Chain A
Amino acid sequence: MVRLAHDVLDSQLVDRKGRPCGKADGIVLLVGEHGAPRVVALEVGALTLARRLHPRLSRWLARWGRRLGAAAPHAYRIPWSQVRRIDEKEITVDIDAAATPLWSLERWLAERVIDRLPGGA
């Protein structure tokens, strides 16, 4: 049994290489006409966090994101089927974080800033 709010929401996510890749900022449920609601994905991203604080904050953040030229103005979703393990410390997901948008700021900082400074790599 998994208790979504207790065991999943706001837990640390790590990818298949054991790298921290954000927290479970949101949980996406599919509510169909028939049957019980189904968990379809975990959501990671500032927009999801902002929406939890206040919907207006999220819209405001999305608008500024678009103005600054951010790629996708929505949060990143990890399909529930990629969740491999949930334990007390963290949730392991079967993705390669470095290949996803989760890593875009990390990659940008590493390549554009840190590589140009001495001693960073």
Chain B
Amino acid sequence: MTKVFEVALGIVTSIGGFLEAGSLATSAQAGAEFGFQLLWVIALGTLCLIFLVEMSGRLAAVSHHTIASAMRERFGFNFFVVPLLTVALVSLLTLGAELGGVCMALQLATGVALQWWALPVMVLVWVLLWRGSFGLIEKGVSLLGLVTVAFLVAMFRLHAPLGEVAAGLVPRLPDHDSGRYWFLAVSILGASLTPYLFYFYSSGAIEDHWDKKDLGTNRMVATLGMSFGGILAAAVLVVAAMVFLPRGVRIESYEQVALMLIDAFGHWGFWLFVAAFGIACLGAVLEITLAVAYLVAQGFGWNWGENVKPRDAARFAATYTLALVVAMLPVVAGVDPLRLTNVSMVLSAASLPVATLPFLVLMNDPTYVKGHANGRFGNAVVLVVIVLACVLAVVSLPLELVGG
């Protein structure tokens, strides 16, 4: 019975934790501009994420290493420094985008400009990390995050044409604006596969003392949790396609995205969106802040953990404090949060080979995963998707920045 409960809780956690500024914004943009055409990219990204998350949990359960510590040990410091810096920088940028999302939700709710919210939000997040435990943060925020199921409900209230939606799952070439199509495709891949996600997951598995007994739970949680999460991102795309495409709205700001639930829920739709968006971004902020501190602490062998008092992991606590302050700078400086989100999602995609290829090597090394090495299918899926994401990112980011 406890096993069933554990799996259920794990799945709920993943659903609540899946949707954040990145996947919400990119899915909404994709739906508004290309209808259901880009749904297949969400499916592909989610499939790849299932494999990566399952691998991350398996590595931790079998080897008792997090991705960061195994990577440094296996490849040496001189190599490790490259993924360390890459993942840390991309994560800080993503953290900035998510912090911007929380502040944006508050601006939508109150009318007070988002820069003013930067400091209070930072303090709130810091207090939650300083006083909270890993379980509280993981489960509490994720349960609240279930409000994002509103997008799925909206999809049915708008009577989405399920046949056409299913047709969107078949990959196809764009019929117009192919540059923009591929830019959004890579943004979606970057949003689904942000490296902090699977780095964070292995740390969580160590915090929760997983071992080989948990491999079955891990597989179930990764598969079902990430699938449901992917379905939510798909629902955002479908709702955006039905609300914005017929009106010819191209998403240029979060103020526009905020109106997407009004057709389904009326006046309350706006407040539902603000709550879902704010909570989803807050959850991501907590996870990414911890992920950065985990990465650095594990890379240098410090004592770390969200379940110990800050005094007993002082450098770890100092690192997440610093990460919050640094990531907040673009928000305070007035960088548009949607623009920040788009750029960080594409950079996420560009960083995938550096963040995942060495991880893939670990997952095929019997020194670490013993008899639990990757199958050929898992290796192939991850390899194909990350190479695709990186190539698209490298090609489309300059085009987007120039073409703006």
Contact = CB atoms under 8 A, between A and B. Distances in A.
A19 B313 CA distance: 10
A107 B303 CA distance: 12
A21 B403 CA distance: 50
Interface in B192-229: none
B314 A114 contact: yes
Given A20-B302, A21-B301, A120-B309, A10 B72 contact: yes
B311 interface: yes
Interface string A1-44: 00001000111110000011111010000000000000000000
A23 B309 contact: no
Interface string A84-121: 00001100000000000000011101100111010111
Nearest to B69: A12
Contacts of A117: 130, 310
A53 interface: yes
A49 interface: yes
A59 interface: no
Given A23-B300, A88-B63, A10 B76 contact: yes
B78 A52 contact: yes
Contacts of B73: 10-12, 23
A49 B69 CA distance: 15
Contacts of B58: none
A8 B304 CA distance: 21
B116 interface: no
Interface of B: 63-65, 69, 72-73, 76-78, 80-81, 130-131, 300-304, 309-311, 314-315, 317-318, 367
Interface of A: 5, 9-13, 19-23, 25, 49, 52-53, 88-89, 105-107, 109-110, 113-115, 117, 119-121
A114 B311 contact: yes
6 contacts: A22-B300, A22-B301, A23-B73, A23-B301, A25-B77, A105-B315
Residue from A23, A25, A88, A115 with most neighbouring chain B CB atoms (10 Å): A23
Contacts, number: 72
Contacts of A89: 63-65
A12 B302 CA distance: 9
Contact of B301 (A20, A53, A110, A120): A20
Contact of A12 (B130, B131, B301): B301
Nearest to B312: A110
Contact of B77 (A13, A49, A107): A49
A23 to B, nearest CB: 4
B129 to A, nearest CB: 11
Contacts of A107: 314
Contacts of B303: 19-21, 106
Nearest to A54: B78
A52 B300 CA distance: 14
Given A20-B301, A52-B78, A120-B311, 18 more contacts: A5-B76, A10-B73, A10-B77, A12-B73, A20-B303, A21-B301, A23-B301, A49-B77, A109-B314, A110-B314, A114-B317, A115-B311, A117-B130, A119-B130, A120-B309, A120-B310, A120-B317, A121-B310
Nearest to B302: A20
A13 B73 CA distance: 11
Nearest to A120: B310
Nearest to B79: A10
Contact of A114 (B65, B72, B310, B367): B310
B309 A121 contact: yes
Contacts of B310: 114, 117, 119-121
A89 to B, nearest CB: 5
Contacts of B314: 105-107, 109-110, 113-114
Closest 8 A-B residue pairs measured CB to CB?
A109-B314, A23-B301, A120-B310, A22-B301, A110-B314, A121-B311, A20-B303, A106-B314
A80 B318 CA distance: 31
A5 to B, nearest CB: 8
A109 B76 contact: no
